[in-house]
Amino acid sequence: MAAPVDYSTYLVTDSTPGILGDRDLCQVVEAALQGGVTIVQYRDKHSSRDVVVETAKKLHDICKRFQVPFLINDQVDVAAEIGCEGKARELLGPNKIIGVTASSVEEALQAAKAGADYLGIGTVFSTQTKKDTKSIIGPNGVRTILSQLAASGHGGISTVCIGGINISNTQQVMTQSSAPAKSLNGVAVVSAIIAAANPAAAARELSSKVLTAKVPD
């Protein structure tokens, strides 16, 4: 059986021009892994398919060195081509990680029933990183979704929250959003690590906040 996935400090990359300054994405991700990121999703809305495949291969190799799962956002064909850990099940077969973003109880239950491995719940707070978010649900919205998952027999699905999460609000969000029967497995962040002056230190601090706030499974 595959080892359980640690969702506690989930890094999502960003390809917005300028966000990395003069730094290289692979170096930033490697630094974040040194700081304790436990799972990486490559999200690239700007580059050509060739660049995406090339970058995905490099990032996958880095993640393998750290024994951390590597997922690709949306581009299921690229995930299939490079054989990474995250995908859409029909195309890539069993033993892959599928994540679905949910901003409502309905979406969360639908994804859980369809067999998603984990949910990205949000958008929690407004964020400059993704401007087309459907709704800002706050920690209370996250708690409602977690309660309903547990109440409908889907309390076992892994969950992270996403959207505007940073070092200053992680502990509060982890604590406030926890439903009595189910708490978050972790937090997913883009800018809190990718745009940080020191991504390794940012990942270390974020990871320590999550672990302090997390209720053991």
Binding site residues, ligand TZP, CB under 6 A:
12, 101, 122-123, 127, 129-130, 133, 162-165, 189-192
Q: From 69, 51, 55, select the one nearest 3 (Cα to Cα).
A: 69
- 135: its two tokens: 């709704």
CA dihedral 17, 23, 28, 30 (to 10 degrees): 130
Helix (H) or strand (E) holding 142: helix 138-151
Comparison of 108 and 180: residue with beta carbon closer to ligand TZP: 108
How are strands ordered across the β-sheet holding 158-162?
70-72, 39-42, 9-12, 186-189, 158-162, 118-121, 99-102
The answer to whether 62 and 30 have CB atoms below 8 angstroms apart is yes
Smallest distance from the beta carbon of 89 to ligand TZP, in angstroms?
21
Nearer to ligand TZP, 128 or 212 (CB): 128
Based on CB atoms, which residue is closest to ligand TZP, 123 or 148? Answer: 123
Closer of 9 and 129 to ligand TZP (Cβ): 129
In the bound complex, what is the minimum distance in angstroms from residue 166's beta carbon to ligand TZP?
7
Judged by DSSP in three states, 156 sits in coil
CB of 94 vs ligand TZP, minimal distance in Å: 26
Query: DSSP assignment, residue 66?
Result: T
Smallest separation, CB 73 to ligand TZP (Å): 8
Which is closer to ligand TZP, CB of 152 or CB of 172?
172
Q: Are 46 and 53 in contact (CB under 8 A)?
A: no
For residue 24, the minimal CB distance to ligand TZP (Å) is 19
State the nearest-atom distance from the C-beta of 5 to ligand TZP, in Å: 18
Q: Are 180 and 143 in contact (CB under 8 A)?
A: no
- CB nearer to ligand TZP: pick between 20 and 151: 20
